Amino acid sequence: MRTSFVNALHKMAKKDDRLYSVIADIGIFMFDEFEKEFPGRFINVGIAEQNQIGVCAGLALNGKIPYAYSIAPFVTLRCLEQIRIDLCYQKLNVKIIGGGGGLAYGILGPTHHLIEDYAIMRSLPNMAVLAPSDPDTTEKAVIAARDWEGPVYIRISKDKEKKIYTAAEPYKIGKALIPREGKDAAIISTGTMLVQALDAAELLAKKGIQARVIDMHTIKPLDDEAVLKAAEETRAIVTVEEHNVIGGLGGAVAELLIESRIRKIPMKRIGIDDFFCTCDGSHEFLKDRCGLHPEKIAETVEALLSQK
């Protein structure tokens, strides 16, 4: 996904001289070609994320479209005040790319994990929040963000993620993708948890349960229509995210259902149960330990469907 982001930015920069790459001394070698071709539009501010956001704000005020990239917890939490005041308050065209969101940095521990970003970033006025699921949707999200008026946060992972979509798949900010149809239940996932959601749907299909899988790649603005349609056409909703269960995708879906007065459908949030993951291990190992695996998703759907 990181490669898809850099490639998309490089490709756009060839045709749009408003685009800048601003990094905080992370992923330097990823931008070698960009820096070589556009030396005046590549800025490394050093390990100073607050300054990074300030520089991006200055560029945006002068008609530029900067993309700020760093490790996800550092480019969000470390400079949250600057994001809130410099970018959101002024509704500036700055695009923030957080690499290695969720538990992607594995053994580096809670300092490098990020399980609060959806909740924090979606609470900021004027901020759009995207979480693409594979390399193709990452590229499309980066391109779509350029034309979105105002700040955009895009959470990406850091490993060699599974390719799910084709390059021809349509993509629009605020419009969910549905890679699998189903009438019994709906599994709404975001980010790279789409793989686990699709695998869970396969497990359920073997038991005769047809689960619709919704890729909610945009957490804000949420695709209300896709959620409400699932609530009307299926008998259970499960949300899946590599994020604290509080305030993220599950919170956004629950808020919508409550305010829409849809009470008949059971719902369950699957995420990280409001704790720091201090285990040692790979990204996949940590997700399994936190219950973010297909078997848990499938069991949760079955349990909801069995309720009277």
Q: Is residue 296 part of a domain?
A: yes
pLDDT at res. 87: 98
pLDDT band at 277 (very low <50, low <70, confident <90, very high): very high
By the 8 A CB rule, do 65 and 15 touch?
no
Q: Is residue 279 part of a domain?
A: yes
Residues 20, 119 share a domain: yes
User: What is the enclosing helix (H) or strand (E) of 70?
Assistant: strand 65-71
Residues 148, 196 share a domain: no
Residues 136, 69 share a domain: yes
> Is 308's pLDDT higher than 90?
no
Residues 8, 94 share a domain: yes
DSSP string, 18-55: TEEEEESSSSGGGGHHHHHH-GGGEEE--S-HHHHHHH
> Is 263's pLDDT higher than 80?
no
CATH code at position 267: 3.40.50.920
Which of 112, 127, 156 marks a domain boundary?
Answer: 156
Total Cβ atoms within 10 A of residue 151? 31
Residues 293, 182 share a domain: yes
pLDDT at res. 16: 96
Q: Determine the Cα–Cα distance for residues 51 and 56; give it in Å rounded to an integer.
A: 9
Of 220, 211, 286, nearest in space to 249 by CA: 220
Q: Is residue 162 part of a domain?
A: no
pLDDT at res. 26: 85
Of 271, 257, 264, 262, nearest in space to 300 by CA: 271
> Is 91's pLDDT higher than 90?
yes
State the DSSP code for 82: H
pLDDT band at 279 (very low <50, low <70, confident <90, very high): confident
pLDDT band at 44 (very low <50, low <70, confident <90, very high): very high
pLDDT band at 18 (very low <50, low <70, confident <90, very high): very high
Residues 187, 129 share a domain: no
Q: Determine the Cα–Cα distance for residues 125 and 289; give it in Å rounded to an integer.
A: 34
pLDDT band at 283 (very low <50, low <70, confident <90, very high): very high
Q: Considering the chain, what percentage of its residues have pLDDT values greater than 70?
A: 99
> Is 4's pLDDT higher than 90?
yes
> Is 124's pLDDT higher than 90?
yes
Residues 208, 147 share a domain: no
DSSP string, 133-194: -SHHHHHHHHHHHHTSSS-EEEEE--S-PPP-S-TT---BTTB-EEEE--SSEEEEE-GGGH
Range of the domain at 261: 177-306
Q: Considering the chain, what percentage of its residues have pLDDT values greater than 90?
A: 92
pTM of the predicted model as reported, rounded to 2 decimal places:
0.96
Q: Is residue 204 part of a domain?
A: yes
Q: Determine the Cα–Cα distance for residues 201 and 20; give it in Å rounded to an integer.
A: 41
Q: What is the mean pLDDT of residues 197-220?
A: 98
Q: Is residue 289 part of a domain?
A: yes
**103, two tokens:** 């538990």
> Is 159's pLDDT higher than 80?
no
Q: Determine the Cα–Cα distance for residues 194 and 181; give it in Å rounded to an integer.
A: 14
Which of 108, 127, 156 marks a domain boundary?
Answer: 156
Q: Is residue 119 part of a domain?
A: yes
Count of the separate structural domains present in the chain? 2
Average pLDDT, the chain: 95
Q: What is the mean pLDDT of residues 290-301?
A: 97
Q: What is the mean pLDDT of residues 78-91?
A: 98
pLDDT at res. 262: 76
Q: Is residue 161 part of a domain?
A: no
Residues 38, 86 share a domain: yes
CATH code at position 61: 3.40.50.970
Query: By three-state DSSP, how is residue 226 classified?
Result: helix
**152, two tokens:** 């955009």
Residues 273, 192 share a domain: yes
pLDDT band at 195 (very low <50, low <70, confident <90, very high): very high
> Is 285's pLDDT higher than 80?
yes
Q: Determine the Cα–Cα distance for residues 301 and 223; give it in Å rounded to an integer.
A: 21
Residues 104, 15 share a domain: yes
Which of 121, 156, 191 marks a domain boundary?
Answer: 156
With a CB cutoff of 8 Å and minimum separation 6, the contacts of 238 are 185, 186, 187, 188, 267, 268, 269, 270, 297, 300, 301, 304
Whether the ω angle into residue 135 lies within 30 degrees of 0, i.e. cis, is no
pLDDT at res. 264: 81
Residues 135, 8 share a domain: yes
Give the angle subtended at the CA of 282 by the CAs of 277 and 284, to the nearest 5°: 85
- Can you list the pairs that 172-176 forms with residues at least 24 positions away whose Cβ atoms lie under 8 Å? 172/144, 173/128, 173/130, 173/141, 173/144, 173/145, 173/148, 173/218, 173/221, 174/218, 174/221, 174/222, 174/223, 175/218, 175/223, 175/226, 176/214, 176/215, 176/216, 176/217, 176/218, 176/223, 176/226
Q: Is residue 165 part of a domain?
A: no
> For 220-254, how does the pLDDT look when each residue is reduced to its tens digit (9 = 90+)?
999 999 999 999 999 999 999 999 999 999 999 99
> Is 168's pLDDT higher than 80?
no
pLDDT band at 27 (very low <50, low <70, confident <90, very high): confident
Residues 186, 143 share a domain: no
